[in-house]
Amino acid sequence: MAGQPTFDAAEAVKGRPFGNLPEWDLTDLYPGPESAELKADLERLDREVKDFAARHQGRLAELEPAAMLACIEAYERIDITAGRIMSYAGLRYYQDTTDAGRAKMLGDLQARITDITTPLVFFSLEFNRVPDETYAAVFAAPDGPARYKPVFDRMRAMRPHQLSDELEQFLHDNSVVGAAAWNRLFDETTAALEFDLDGETLGLEATLNLLTDHDRARREAGARALAQVFRRNVKLFSRIHNTLAKEKAVEDKWRKMPTPQHGRHLSNHVEPEVVEALRNAVTAAYPRLSHRYYALKARWLGLDKLQVWDRNAPLPTETPRTIGWDEARQTVLNAYAGFAPKLADLARPFFDKGWIDAAVTPGKAPGAFAHPTVVTVHPYVLLNYLGKPRDVMTLAHELGHGVHQRLAAAQGELLASTPLTLAETASVFGEMLTFRALLAETTDPVQKKALLAGKVEDMINTVVRQIAFYDFECKLHAARAEGELTPDDINALWMSVQAESLGPVFEFMPGYETFWTYVPHFVHSPFYVYAYAFGDGLVNALYAAYEDGLPDFQSKYFDLLAAGGSKHHKELLAPFGLDASDPAFWDKGLAMIEGLIDQLEALE
């Protein structure tokens, strides 16, 4: 792995075609990496943690309701300080993961925060040993911590999987040289990858972007460059996945987790059977969704078989277009305002106050995300904006996350965090609003077809592709339980789900078997990916209720977002007449995708 994209290549993707792309202003977190405020927070965090442990360790079960409320509020303040420090270090690092100083700062602060917070390990362990009758009485008292009950109900769901205090403390201390270290290795490796395109050196994000190029030869060149570099690095990526999967298996064994996925379901506050119903509904729909759509696309492209570089190709009738940043901003804000002015008002500060980092720059983390930081500050959005229509949808998606995080912040640090199954609601809804607004304005049949096809592809990528990813992870962890996996073993698992999900119209070039290597979710958040499909199905059902004119929909929607993690998905969806535990629920969302494919066929 050599260095970074050349200066000229970086400038080509960063500069003038898109207008002035915004950068983060991180001073809302701290004035700088050497600031007195950051040092003071570290010192205060150390004092407060020690004081908290001295006051409460061994005494939680004896606390009266008002004292328990004060205890939880003190814990929440500690959580905010630690979260603020790590948000700052992490965001600086993601701006340039190849900068040694930023990487050192992140590593040092991770180690320091881990050391400082080790005395807090007792809190959840001891809380889970509070007798049920005591717990119920304390959380039912009018002067007690009743509003925090959903947080601690989720914590107590881990009771069957809790280890001894000493073991839990060991796992806490060991985390910086375990999963966190392998995560950093993955991030730094992918950020430093270089791809040669006819003498031009590009990074990962710019090379992946070629897969949506109008020029089929450029798409093929991009795909082959990706395959060449992934193959060259596949042993390292295989080592990372083998190690993380085994580490997880060891911890799961000690915690007596029934399946590798179970911990994710617990943290998502979703029942395994609900996820299984989602997975089964989507895989059963593969022939009606992806297989059917890609057969259509092959006809549009005049091909008997599609290659992997045709999957996200623009339609041949679609006019290549670069969308400037100002137009992207206005498109999304107008779509948000069309739903409710409040939604646009919540999104606008992201553009005006340095809450978005949009340019593709050397060393910057690939992809896109919205990081909530802490409830006393605000979220930050990372993009790699290259002026494609999909980039506008990504902007709409990440702003949805940002708006959701802003609204949920009123719940406080412990309750604001939304389970992953609901975390994609506002993001996917924001995409849908933007798509519907653009579709309503489009009268030209060719443009309408391109818009519809783009949306169908995005939904297939969100639902079909992510469930295929989930199946790949399930197979990977099951196979790893039987022993070490070679790169060829992992490649074979990847291809088994790709062929099944994409359908018979696809041919797979040599090298595509390694494309699992760059997917960060497998490394950072095992089994995260089904949340995307969950969110899409949920939003499709919500949007159908909106289109059907459900009374007071907007205020119910804002209530859902503002609830953060304070309510179960069943309770949140009840005002909309929806229930995700009903297997038929998922068919409603999948029917919307089928309906869009019907519209495309009607345009033939």
* Domain residue ranges of the chain, discontinuous segments joined by +: 26-161
In sequence order, which residues have a C-beta less than 8 Å from that of residue 279 and are 6 or more positions away?
467, 470, 471, 530
Question: Residue 161 has what pLDDT?
Answer: 87
Sign of CA dihedral 146, 149, 150, 151: positive
Most confident of 196-205, 551-560, 570-579: 551-560
Backbone angles phi and psi of 196, in degrees to 5: -95, 120
Sign of CA dihedral 514, 515, 521, 526: negative
Question: Residue 453 has what pLDDT?
Answer: 92
Q: Using CB atoms within 10 Å of the CB of residue 8, give its burial: 0 to 12 exposed, 13 to 18 middle, 19+ buried.
A: exposed
pTM for this entry? 0.81
Question: Residue 374 has what pLDDT?
Answer: 98
Question: Residue 280 has what pLDDT?
Answer: 94
Query: Given a cut of 80, is residue 119 above it in pLDDT?
Result: yes
**Rounded CA separation 112/532 (Å):** 34
- Cα-only R_g, the chain: 24
Question: Residue 16 has what pLDDT?
Answer: 52
Query: Given a cut of 60, is residue 406 above it in pLDDT?
Result: yes
Question: Residue 85 has what pLDDT?
Answer: 98
Output the 3-class SS for 117-166. HHHHHHHHHHHCCCCHHHHHHHHHCCCCCHHHHHHHHHHHCCHHHCCCHH
Question: Residue 269 has what pLDDT?
Answer: 82
Question: Residue 514 has what pLDDT?
Answer: 98
Q: Using CB atoms within 10 Å of the CB of residue 524, give its burial: 0 to 12 exposed, 13 to 18 middle, 19+ buried.
A: middle
In sequence order, which residues have a C-beta less than 8 Å from that of residue 516 and are 6 or more positions away?
237, 472, 490, 491, 494, 522
Query: Given a cut of 80, is residue 473 above it in pLDDT?
Result: yes
Question: Residue 158 has what pLDDT?
Answer: 85
Pairing state between β 200-202 and 195-197: antiparallel
Question: Residue 483 has what pLDDT?
Answer: 97
DSSP conformational letter for 306: B
**DSSP letters along 372-397, please?**
---TTS--EEE----S-HHHHHHHHH
Residue type at position 573: L
Q: Are 210 and 304 in contact (CB under 8 A)?
A: no
| Pair of tokens at residue 509 | 């070039």
Query: Given a cut of 70, is residue 110 above it in pLDDT?
Result: yes
In sequence order, which residues have a C-beta less than 8 Å from that of residue 426 and are 6 or more positions away?
400, 401, 403, 404, 561
Strands (E) in 359-460, as ranges, are 369-371, 380-382
DSSP conformational letter for 269: T
Mean per-residue pLDDT, 499-522: 96
Question: Residue 166 has what pLDDT?
Answer: 85
Question: Residue 70 has what pLDDT?
Answer: 97
Question: Average pLDDT of the chain?
Answer: 92
Query: Given a cut of 60, is residue 1 above it in pLDDT?
Result: no
Question: Residue 5 has what pLDDT?
Answer: 29
Look-up of token digits 């933007």: 434
Mean per-residue pLDDT, 116-134: 92
Mean per-residue pLDDT, 398-421: 94
Question: Residue 18 has what pLDDT?
Answer: 85
Mean per-residue pLDDT, 181-189: 92
Mean per-residue pLDDT, 67-81: 97
Residue type at position 115: D
Question: Residue 2 has what pLDDT?
Answer: 29
Please report, rounded to a whole number, the percentage of residues in the chain having pLDDT higher than 90. Answer: 75
**DSSP letters along 496-562, please?**
HHHHHHH-TTB---TTGGGGGGG-THHHHSTTTTHHHHHHHHHHHHHHHHHHTT-TTHHHHHHHHHH
Chain segment 343-352, per-residue pLDDT in tens: 999 999 999 9
| Pair of tokens at residue 588 | 């409603």
**Rounded CA separation 379/369 (Å):** 10
Domain 26-161 has CATH 1.20.140.70: yes
Chain segment 200-225, per-residue pLDDT in tens: 999 998 999 999 998 999 999 999 99
Query: Given a cut of 80, is residue 7 above it in pLDDT?
Result: no
Sign of CA dihedral 282, 285, 286, 288: negative
Look-up of token digits 């050391």: 115
Query: Given a cut of 80, is residue 237 above it in pLDDT?
Result: yes
Query: What's the Cα-to-Cα distance from 369 to each of 219, 383, 432, rounded to whole Å?
Result: 25, 7, 18
